[in-house]
Structure 1
Amino acid sequence: MTSHDPRPDGHPPLPEQANPSWMGHVPEQNYRPAPANYAGRPQATLPPAIPAPSSRRRRGRRSAGGGLGLFVAGAVLVFADLFLVLTFVLANTGVAGFAIGFVASLLPLGSVLLAVYVIDRWEPEPKRLLLFAFVWGAVVSVALTLLLQPPFSLAAGPASGLDEQTFSETLAAPVVEEFAKSLGLLLLLLFARKHFDGPVAGVVFAFTVAGGFAFTENVLYFGRAFSGSGNPATNVAVVFLGRGVMSPFAHAIFTASTGVVLGFAARRGSTGLCLLAFIAGLVPAVLLHSSFNTVSQDFPARYIFVQVPIFVAAVLVIVLLRRAQNRLTRQRLQEYAAAGWFTSAEVQMLGTGRGRSWALLWARSIGRGPQMKAFLRAATRLAFTRQRILSGRDVPAQQLDEKHQLAKVAALRDAVLRR
């Protein structure tokens, strides 16, 4: 909505572009102007003007408090589950198979974690929460799968009317595994709500959880291929081709569908809505997982015409989410600029990828790269704090956080300029 007439509650009208995208929709009753900077608008533009783009192709923190209890509780779960998982994997692979599987599994894991790094660069999530997510996937969700799948199969298998193998591939494994992985996402949302603040964060955490799960699963598959026949090298190569080359992002894409749904629910802030979103988000995850498990039927046509388009669609969705996130950041910072906290040139720098790259290049040229990096991250956190305020979620606490972050941004600007 864009209006120049006063609202019925007496508040000023929504400014132009208050809702820059579908990701950052602001209910009219929740909108409030950014607090004014009574110390005066910053005089210096940092860095100097961004150069015009050339025709050549360019080559290419959150506070420490939130989520600490979740991390400690996760550590307890890991120690409780580690014995079960290690015992199961070693019993199926042997020591030599475990070692081979562990090393081979590092390669697909690296591709998933690289994707996490790229997606998460705009607003990095706390490392302790990413560690929690990874270990949840690699240990806790595997243990839950081992514990829950037998009773689920016993209860639902006969009623399904499917043979044992078909039931396991199309129903039992998808349902139990996606529930176990996504439960970690739900815990992150409920107990680290400040950091799980949108669909992009949901994708980042989902990729990390799924990367951990796939890592342990790959150790099992690669190790079993090594120790289970007289031609271990060929067997490992075949399994690696299928899991490490053709589908390293399979689990990540499944779980990311739940993460996106939870991320949108997080914007509303209702715990009940988040629980409903958890259930709703499991549906596409289970369907995608079940579809993938049947890819061996009519292979390679099913892989080429079903799984490849799913992968391409997932990439496009992530790109769209990132672009919407960038637009949202830029709009919220423009509102702070209108209140005197930034210059328009700074908003252009902070709100675009090209501007950030130029800012870091300039800061490094004068020996202040770390300070500029901290300034960029603090400004992004500030923009997302404002979005939480406008969503109507925990407004007094978020406004207190906003006050501290505004002071931090001003201090970091001075650190870059050394005034």
Structure 2
Amino acid sequence: MSEPSSPPRSAPVEAQPPLPAYAPQPVFDALPERSRWRYAPRRASRLWRSRALRVGGLITLLALCGLVILALVREQTGTRGFLVGLGLATLPVPLLLAAFRWLDRVEPGPWRHLAFAFAWGAFAAALVALTANTFAARWIATATADPSSADTLGATVVAPVVEESAKAAAVFLLFFFRRRDFTGLVDGVVVAGFTATGFAFTENILYLGRAFDDDQSTGSAGFESMTAATFFVRIVMSPFAHPLFTVLTGIGFGLAALAARRRRFRRTALPLLGLVLAMGMHALWNGSTSMLGPFGFYAVYALIMVPVFALLTWLTIWSRQRELRTVSTALPAYAAAGWLASAEPTALASMRARTAARDFARRTQGAAAAHAVSEYQRFATSLAFLRHRAQRGTVDPDFVAREQELLHHMWRRKDVASPALTYAARATGAVRVPPPYRDYEGYNPYRA
């Protein structure tokens, strides 16, 4: 009789990090030194001077790019055209930035990162695009001896590649150097949106300023003016055009952030695919009139741009709801261990309860308490995402240190934030009985 065959071996599953137990006075023995330094008075050191030098150098670079690009735009539009273009181009910016910031409410990224993204798009990317596009148009006109076709070819082929690559650089820099704050699809969409909004702002100044200068030369006014037509097309009909293109790149980086570290091909291919799609959508938009006739612009706008915009909006909102579900499933384990009150995970998974908690803290203890609750919410959300990645088998190399750092931040704000969140959970009707949780065998890395 033959021996029974052994059952097939399953692929090894990466063990999840054990859940830390809570203590009234926890010992954060794995806390990174940089985090300990955050809680101590700042002293001059080589590290601080080096960081200040890097930040100062970056600000100086972006400021120089801003001065150069604005000077070039004013040279092409004239002073009056520049001021008119600046005023009209500013109108959609607050609305677009507010919309992207609203999408990022679950785990809001640092404002300094978003300010960098906007400044990069408005100054650095715009300067690279204007310089490269002008050079390419002149080279094509010289090579083909046909200036009209050079403009069409430059707008359809060269401009999408140059502009989307320049904007994608900001997304890549934050993805590569600020990986801790770049955790998913929503982060990619928001960073890309801020970058593209900045780029569109500078580009709109140029186009609106040129149109106004032309109107001054020809004496056109009212609805027949080039300024009114340009304003209608660029500000009223398609203020989301550049953000829509670059968001495709941001989605690629966001999906790469969700991929496991061992998936190197996926982490490289997804951003490149997103960039190629952004270039293709941009090329189709720019070439809609010249390639498809006088009604090509409206056809592309109605049949492609609007549906894609609606689809990406739905995808981003769905991703945000998914982030809230991640919070509701990952944080109850910390509540069972004692780090959070039982009602906190449910409150943190509800945007309404989060707002109620901040309002309650502001009414009872002032603005500083509301700010502490907001910070607590942000750290708790980051903790939920960290644990969720570990549950999926994607354990960060510095998981224990990062977990202790977030718990340390939360522990120092617990006395203010926990009562506010508990009140908000009950006031909004968000409290529910938590499910049972596994026993982590009493493991406590914080025990002295």
Aligned match of 1:236 in 227, 230, 233?
A: 227
Q: Are 1:139 and 2:123 counterparts?
A: yes
Alpha-carbon spacing, 1:105–1:278, altered in 2? closer, same or farther (3 Å) = same
The answer to whether the 8 A contact 1:262-1:278 is kept is yes
Q: Residue 225 of structure 1 aligns with which residue?
A: 211
In structure 2, which of residues 165, 173, 180 is the aligned counterpart of residue 179 of structure 1? Answer: 165
TM-score by length of 1: 0.79
Contact 2:141 2:150 in 1 (8 A): no
1:119-165 CA deviation, whole Å, 9 max, x = no partner? 12211111111111011000100111133335656489979x99323
In structure 2, list runs of 5 or more residues that go unmatched: 1-9, 27-34, 39-47, 421-448
Query: Following TM superposition, by how much is the alpha carbon of 1:77 offset from its aligned partner in structure 2, in angstroms?
Result: 2.7
The answer as to whether partners of 1:30 and 1:391 remain within 8 angstroms in 2 is no
**Deviation digits for residues 279-299 of structure 1 (CA, Å, limit 9, x no counterpart):** 222111011112222344424
* Greater displacement, 176-185 / 72-81: 72-81
Distance 1:380 1:70 in 2: 29
Give the drift of 1:312.
1.1
The equivalent position to 2:326 in structure 1, one of 302, 325, 328, is 328
User: How far does residue 102 in structure 1 lie from its aligned partner after superposition?
Assistant: 0.7
Change (3 A) 1:40 1:336: farther
Letter of the 1:178 counterpart:
E
Deviates more, 1:356-365 or 1:116-125: 356-365
Going from structure 1 to structure 2, the CA distance change for 1:366 and 1:392 (only over 3 Å counts) comes to same
Secondary structure, in 3 states, of the residue corresponding to 1:300? helix
Match of 1:285 among 266, 275, 278: 278
Which residue is equivalent to 1:247?
238
Please name the residue that 1:169 is paired with: 155
* Residue type at the aligned position of 2:22: N
| Equivalent residue, structure 1, for 2:251 | 260
How far is the alpha carbon of 1:202 from its aligned partner?
A: 0.5
Amino acid at match of 2:21: A
Q: Please show how residues 244-393 of structure 1 align to structure 2 within 5 Å.
A: 244-267=235-258, 268-269=260-261, 274-296=267-289, 297-298=294-295, 299-367=297-365, 368-387=369-388, 389=390
Contact 1:71 1:132 in 2 (8 A): no
Query: How far off its partner does 1:272 sit?
Result: 6.9
SS in 2 for 1:366: helix
Once residues 401 and 138 of structure 1 are traced to their aligned partners in structure 2, the CA distance between those partners, rounded to angstroms, is 34
Shift in CA distance, 417/260, structure 1 to aligned 2, threshold 3 Å: closer
> Mapping of 1:385-404 within 5 angstroms?
385-387=386-388, 389=390, 395-404=396-405
**Contact 2:354 2:377 survives alignment (8 Å):** yes
Partner in structure 2 of residue 126 of structure 1: 110
Seen in structure 2, the aligned counterparts of structure 1 residues 138 and 261 have a Cα distance that, compared at 3 Å, is: same
Q: Deviations over 1:335-374 (max 9, x none)?
A: 3223332233111101122322332343334234333223
Between the aligned partners of 2:250 and 2:104, the Cα distance in structure 1 is 14
How big is the shift at 1:40? Answer: 9.8
Structure 2 counterpart of 1:406: 407
- Residue in 2 that maps onto 1:116: 100
Whole-angstrom CA distance in 2 between matches of 1:157 and 1:305: 36
- The 3 A distance-change label for structure 1 pair 156 and 322 is farther
The equivalent of 1:24 in structure 2 is none
Output the amino acid matched with 1:200. Answer: V
- How much has 1:83 moved relative to structure 2? 4.2
| Deviation (angstroms), 1:251 | 0.6
**Comparing 236-245 and 134-143, the one that deviates more:** 236-245
In 1, Cα distance between the equivalents of 2:142 and 2:392? Answer: 44
Runs of 4+ in 1 over 6 A off after TM superposition: 67-70, 155-159, 391-394
Q: 1:198 to 1:304 in 2, by over 3 A?
A: same
Quote how far apart the aligned CAs of 1:111 are.
1.7
1:40/1:340 contact within 8 Å kept: no
Tell me which residue corresponds to 1:216.
202
Contact map agreement 1:74 1:132 (CA 8 A) in 2: no
Whole-Å Cα distance in 2 between the matches of residues 248 and 100 of structure 1? 17
Secondary structure at the aligned position of 2:179 is classed as coil
- Count of residue pairs the alignment pairs up: 373
Distance in 2 of aligned mates of 1:390 and 1:155: 54
Would the alpha carbon gap of residues 400 and 178 (structure 1) be closer, same or farther in structure 2, given more than 3 Å must change?
same
For normalisation by structure 2, the TM-score amounts to: 0.74
| Distance apart, 1:317 and its partner CA | 1.3
Q: 1:30 to 1:249 in 2, by over 3 A?
A: farther
Q: Which amino acid aligns with 1:304?
A: A
In the TM superposition, residue 314 of structure 1 has moved relative to its aligned partner by 1.8
The 8 Å contact of residues 196 and 202 in structure 1, kept in 2 or not, is answered as yes
Indicate the SS of the match to 2:180. coil
370-379 vs 311-320, greater mean Cα deviation: 370-379
Q: CA RMSD in A?
A: 3.3
Q: Which of 176, 179, 183 does residue 197 from structure 1 map onto?
A: 183
SS of the residue aligned with 2:92? helix
- Contact 1:265–1:277 (8 Å) recurs in 2: yes
Gaps of 5+ in 1: 1-6, 10-27, 42-60
Matching of residue 78 in structure 1 with residue 62 in structure 2:
yes
Query: Deviation at 1:273?
Result: 5.3
* 1:82 CA displacement: 3.1
